[in-house]
Amino acid sequence: MVKKTEPWLQGQSIFAYVQDNIGKDGFFQATSLPDRAMATTDSVLSLELGAADAYLATTEEIEDNPLGENIYEALMSYSSTPTQENAVMLYLGVCGSPCIIYHESLVAHLQTEKLNPALQKLALSWLYNAPQREAVKFAIVIAGLILLNPKNKKFAEKLKQDLLMLAKCEEFTCYVLFALVLSSSLSDEEAWDIMQHTTGWGKICCMEEYDFATPKEKEWLLCHGADLTVPYPGIAILILKQGQLQEALARPQLSHNLYSGILSTIHNYLLFLLNYENGDNLDLEEEIPAFDLYTAIKQLLHHATKYTSTLEDIAGLFNLAELLTAMADNQHWQQISSNQCHLLISETEKLIFKKNWLPVIMSQLLRKDGSVNNLAVSLALALHMDIHLKLMKLLREDPARTELYFFLLQTDDKRRFHAVLNFAKKHLAEYATSQEALKPILTALSNKPQEGTEFIIAGLTSIYDEIRAYALNVLESWPQTAITSEIKVALIKAKAMSQHPLLALRVDLLLKKKTINLDNFIEILDDIKE
């Protein structure tokens, strides 16, 4: 009988948690895992599964990082002397090290060696029992090596199916793909299934591995490739490489799904360009195939004449106009000329304003179930419609419609601003107990120094880490002079209550009159330690 003294047997099994949260539709239903993600240098707390690894994968920390060597040495110590002490040391090292940084170098070391049976057994124990995600990721990688020379076919198939189940949770998708590709055991059908049951970083990882070869696959890529729940403008490059976008635009007609997918792809491509100041350090000839941006958008606008009847369609065109305007404002002429850009803005605006949208928007401010239609409200503000009084009336009718605060507080009218804030103060007690209610209020307080400090304090002392992160976002946008003694007390409480290590770090930085800067993050960490 195994004694449950090992750290990987203490706490909720990640594997069991994922398994229990796979819905009947094949999607992972939860938005988080029961453990804590490792801190990253991102100043905004990223809660999306897979986000921390996605960030780390793009940093220079991957290159020449000693973690791979350290983990390998600890692993070899256990392999040569498989004691409980060495197993615990390996586990602690793995749990304290982002797997994304070292997994490739570790495999490079191990591929030429025969895995010790004790190590295989230990890794499988972690796979099924470990309560820490980094240990599960490590175990997935080792499982890929195990599948290179499995005990038997039945064992291999069971292990593979368990890995495919884990792939539905986007914290583990890229590791499962890595392991199954490593062991040459991933079929196109299995990869396609993963891609159909992920929506964020896991879907991106899967699309980057997949070869969209058939017309059906290319059509899907154009329709759904940019349909992501996380921001990733680079997806446009993948779609342009494999989706035959320009050929699709040349068709006499496009289905609404295909039109919407191509429009989203163009949005992402423009965002991709705007991420580079004036095109610096961007060699598009190496990044993507030849692409005539002006002609593509021109053709897209031709198809758009058929799809201008709904708010969703108009929102897509409005976003296109805003992105083109940003291109013009920043003089991004590497892919499009100034004249072409302004011509496209004009054509897009003609499509938007050929109809009076005020009656439509006013009739759709609420959905049939009584909830706020954020799209309608956003469009009203974007089109400079004054619907403040109407929105305030809706909020008074139901103070639980807290998403309205985000829009109502976006005003330069101080009288209106303080009237809305005072109304919110009356309901602060009930808002403070909600995981969602404070978010729009806190978001609206960014760059509003000394306004709504009651809400900042309520956010910092919330039982929810996510709300705490929103409050910290606001304070990081305020000058230090706006951080009162009351707020400092709340910051100290926030640090004590925080479950996420990055939040505690951000609190320390604010108390030390610093904010996170990606360029000097390491120096700041050293200062804090001192």
What confidence tens digit (pLDDT) does each residue in 231-284 have?
Answer: 999 999 999 999 999 999 999 999 999 999 999 999 999 999 888 654 444 555
What does the pLDDT look like over 298-318, one tens digit per residue?
A: 999 999 999 998 999 999 999
Looking at the fold, whether 196 and 234 belong to one and the same domain comes out as no
Looking at the fold, whether 46 and 155 belong to one and the same domain comes out as yes
Q: Which long-range contacts (CB under 8 A, 24 or more apart) does 226-232 make?
A: 226/261, 226/264, 226/265, 226/267, 226/268, 227/199, 227/261, 227/264, 228/199, 228/200, 228/203, 228/204, 229/48, 229/199, 229/200, 230/48, 230/51, 230/54, 230/200, 230/201, 230/204, 232/201, 232/204, 232/268
Structure tokens belonging to residue 283: 């060699």
Tell me whether residue 403 is in a domain: no
Looking at the fold, whether 244 and 291 belong to one and the same domain comes out as yes
Single pTM value for the model: 0.81
The answer to whether the CB of 482 falls within 8 A of the CB of 17 is: no
Query: Scanning the structure block, which residue is given the tokens 């005072």?
Result: 422
Q: What is the pLDDT of residue 183?
A: 94
Looking at the fold, whether 129 and 164 belong to one and the same domain comes out as yes
Looking at the fold, whether 205 and 221 belong to one and the same domain comes out as no
pLDDT mean over 490-497: 92
| CA pair distance 211, 421, nearest whole angstrom | 53
Tell me whether residue 175 is in a domain: yes
Does position 422 have pLDDT exceeding 70, yes or no?
A: yes
Looking at the fold, whether 177 and 219 belong to one and the same domain comes out as no
Q: Which residues contact 139 (CB under 8 A, 6 or more apart)?
A: 123, 124, 126, 127, 130
Looking at the fold, whether 230 and 192 belong to one and the same domain comes out as no
Looking at the fold, whether 15 and 120 belong to one and the same domain comes out as yes
> 112: pLDDT confidence band, cut at 50, 70 and 90?
confident
Does position 38 have pLDDT exceeding 60, yes or no?
A: no
Looking at the fold, whether 163 and 15 belong to one and the same domain comes out as yes
Domain ends where: 153, 174, 209?
209
What does the pLDDT look like over 400-411, one tens digit per residue?
A: 999 999 999 988
Q: What is the pLDDT of residue 43?
A: 38
Looking at the fold, whether 81 and 205 belong to one and the same domain comes out as yes
Per the structure, the complete domain to which residue 339 belongs is given by 215-355
Q: Please name which of 470, 416, 473, 454 lies closest in space to residue 405, comparing C-alpha atoms.
A: 416
Tell me whether residue 405 is in a domain: no
Helix, strand, or coil (residue 22): strand
Tell me whether residue 406 is in a domain: no
Q: How many CA atoms lie within 13 A of 444 on its CB side?
A: 24
Tell me whether residue 147 is in a domain: yes
Domain ends where: 331, 355, 379?
355
Domain ends where: 209, 224, 251?
209
Tell me whether residue 150 is in a domain: yes
Domain count, the chain: 3
Tell me whether residue 59 is in a domain: yes
pLDDT mean over 430-451: 93
pLDDT mean over 332-336: 84
Looking at the fold, whether 149 and 13 belong to one and the same domain comes out as yes
Looking at the fold, whether 343 and 292 belong to one and the same domain comes out as yes
Tell me whether residue 398 is in a domain: no
Core vs surface per residue 305-319: b (16+ CB within 10 A) or e: eebeeebebbbbbbb
pLDDT mean over 20-37: 90
Structure tokens belonging to residue 340: 């072409």
Q: What is the pLDDT of residue 334?
A: 82
